[in-house]
């Protein structure tokens, strides 16, 4: 099932960076930073297939050291999931997942697509 995912406020270069999205079959697509994504700010918006794992890589950005952004998955139903991965050099200080404006418990173990 396809769902929409949008995010903005990424701490990247002022002009934004192209986002390369790789799936588990090593297919990729490029998403540009455009206006009016996730309300009225510059950001990224894409359709992703549920029950899949994706690798997000920003072209030319130093996102392997410090990366933060605010994102929303639209119309995710019980039993569906998305795993979004980033190549990072350090263990993150914190990762938050919210559901309907309520902070959900974070996972103590890495998630896998299996």
* pLDDT tens by residue, 46-67: 999 999 999 999 887 766 777 8
Instruction: Give domain status of residue 113, yes or no.
Output: no
Q: Assess whether pLDDT exceeds 60 at residue 9.
A: yes
Instruction: Give domain status of residue 87, yes or no.
Output: yes
Distance CA 83, CA 53 (A): 5
Where is 88: in which H helix or E strand?
none
The whole domain housing 79 covers 2-104
Q: How many domains does the chain have?
A: 1
pLDDT the model gives residue 50: 94
Query: How many percent of the chain have pLDDT more than 90?
Result: 25
Q: Assess whether pLDDT exceeds 80 at residue 108.
A: no
**Cα distances (angstroms) measured from residue 39 to each of 44, 47, 112:** 11, 16, 31
Q: Which two tokens stand for residue 10?
A: 């990424």
Instruction: Give domain status of residue 62, yes or no.
Output: yes
Residue 44 CB burial class (10 angstroms; 0-12, 13-18, ≥19)? buried
Please give the biggest Cα pair distance in the chain.
37
């Amino acid at each position: 099932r396809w769902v929409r995912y949008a995010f903005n406020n990424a701490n990247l270069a002022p002009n934004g960076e192209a986002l390369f999205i790789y799936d588990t079959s090593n297919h990729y697509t490029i998403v540009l930073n455009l206006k009016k994504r996730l309300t009225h700010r510059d950001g990224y918006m894409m359709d992703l297939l549920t029950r899949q794992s994706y690798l997000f890589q920003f072209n030319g950005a130093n996102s392997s050291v410090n990366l933060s952004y605010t994102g929303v998955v639209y119309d995710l139903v019980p039993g569906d999931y998305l795993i979004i991965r980033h190549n990072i050099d350090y263990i993150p200080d914190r990762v938050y997942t919210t559901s309907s404006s309520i902070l959900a418990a974070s996972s103590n173990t890495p998630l896998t697509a299996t």
